[in-house]
Structure 1
Amino acid sequence: MVLEIRRAGQSDRDAVARLLDEAFRDDPVSSWVFPDPAHRAAVHGKFLGVFVDVALAEGRIDYAADGSAAALWLRVPAGDHEGEAEDDVPAMMRAAADPDNERCELVGRLTGEVHPTSEEHEYLLMIAVAPGRQGEGLGTELMRPVLERCDREGVPAYLEASSERSKALYERLGWQFTGTAVRLPDGPLMWPMWRKPQP
């Protein structure tokens, strides 16, 4: 498979947010944050739109030319970044989507607590494939250029898997579970995963 990939710009913002909404609408974490399906349908896109805004401003979005997939990446420097602007993202997500829902903010706080700080790395903030195209290998193809660059440059990568299925996919691509799962209160697990540069 040859997937044509381009870098998304501001004009793609709403299309990428819609793609994330469609791809993650039934994800275990999204279902925990917004338990009521009707309410989730109304606010989920706003919630994930904050990720799109952060990636456009501070990182990059690799976008399939046909709109079928998108990967949101941030290059995170080494060091403790507590108190910097990105630490406000959980609050921004809550304010943008559902101000009365503390789970909007809590999921970001809990994942932030386990995010590695010892080494510079590429952070796969989110990757989405359109529901009708999942299982075709698009996600793997979309990640490949960044992972190959990581390997060439000796840079690790990091992500949080939100399902057993995605965890298994990432393991095939060289990521390893860090050993400490994020436990959402009365909800699903998330699996922080670290990928060392591959020879």
Structure 2
Amino acid sequence: MPQLIRWMFHDHLRHGMVLGTAGCEVVTLWRPPGSVHEHASLTPPALVRFIAMLGTAVLRAERADRMIGKHLPKGERQFYLRMAGVRPDRQGQGLGGLAIRAGLAEADAAGLPAVLETATESNVGLYRSMGFELIDTWPVARKGPTFWTMARPVPFR
């Protein structure tokens, strides 16, 4: 997993937006408008790299990624919170909320909604407190984890 997270981080430096603290206590990965549904090309070298990172789980990861794409609202005129993480020893201190709100401020400045999905049911309440509304609940596979897709409309001005 560390290799996959490292790849995602560098991918967002190129195609997205990375917001967090200087010491990496919290990191959020955002896809701005125009890159919400963008995916890395699955060329033979990329496939080899992903197999090296994920082994036999590469097929499950590809299915999860495909299902996430199906359940995100269509179109590119939105900001997509792809991932948020807080270092375990800094959880519960409000850092995650600060980093997420920084991304939401970018969406607000652009006058656009924000979307996300979470596989952690306890996060649904946190995201609701930030103005997100539940738009879909779905399983990745018959025996896979449940995901919650949420959207935050453009705030009134």
Tell me the CA shift for residue 61 of structure 1.
0.7
Aligned residues: 153
Q: Give the CA deviation at 1:151.
A: 2.2
Q: Contact between 2:133 and 2:151, CA under 8 Å: does it hold in 1?
A: yes
* 2:19 alignment counterpart: 62
Query: TM-score if structure 2 supplies the norm length?
Result: 0.83
Matched, 1:148 2:148: no
**Aligned amino acid, residue 97 of structure 1:** M
- CA distance in 2: counterparts of 1:178 and 1:87, whole angstroms: 28
Q: Secondary structure at the match of 1:100?
A: helix
| Paired residue secondary structure (2:112) | coil
Deviations 1:34-74 (A, max 9, x none): xxxxxxxxxx1122223212201101111202321111111
Verify the 8 A CA contact 2:26 2:96 in the aligned structure 1: yes
Deviation at 1:181, TM superposition (A): 2.2
For 1:98, the equivalent position in structure 2 comes to 54
Could you say what the CA RMSD is over the residues aligned between the two structures, in angstroms?
A: 2.6
Shift of 1:166: 1.2
In the alignment, the residues of structure 1 paired with residue 137 and residue 2 of structure 2 have an alpha-carbon distance, to the nearest angstrom, of 29
Identity of matched residues, % = 28
Aligned to 2:89, which of 125, 132, 135?
132
Q: Which position in structure 2 is the counterpart of 1:112?
A: 69
Which amino acid in 2 is paired with 1:98? L
TM-score (norm 1): 0.67
Gapped regions of structure 1 (runs ≥ 5): 1-43
Judging changes above 3 Å, is the alpha-carbon distance between structure 1 residues 108 and 96 closer, same or farther for their aligned structure 2 residues?
farther
SS in 2 for 1:66: coil
Q: Which has the larger displacement, 114-123 or 55-64?
A: 114-123
Give the number of the structure whose residues are more often helix, by fraction: 1
Q: CA distance change for structure 1 residues 118 and 60 in 2, over 3 Å: closer, same or farther?
A: closer
Aligned-partner residue type, residue 95 of structure 1: I
- C-alpha distance in 2, partners of 1:141/1:157? 15
Confirm or deny: 8 A CA contact 1:111 1:182 kept in the other structure: no
Give SS of 1:70's match.
strand
SS at match of 1:174: coil
Give the C-alpha shift of residue 194 in structure 1: 0.8
- Which of residues 143, 150, 157 is equivalent to 1:186? 143
Are 1:165 and 2:116 counterparts?
Answer: no
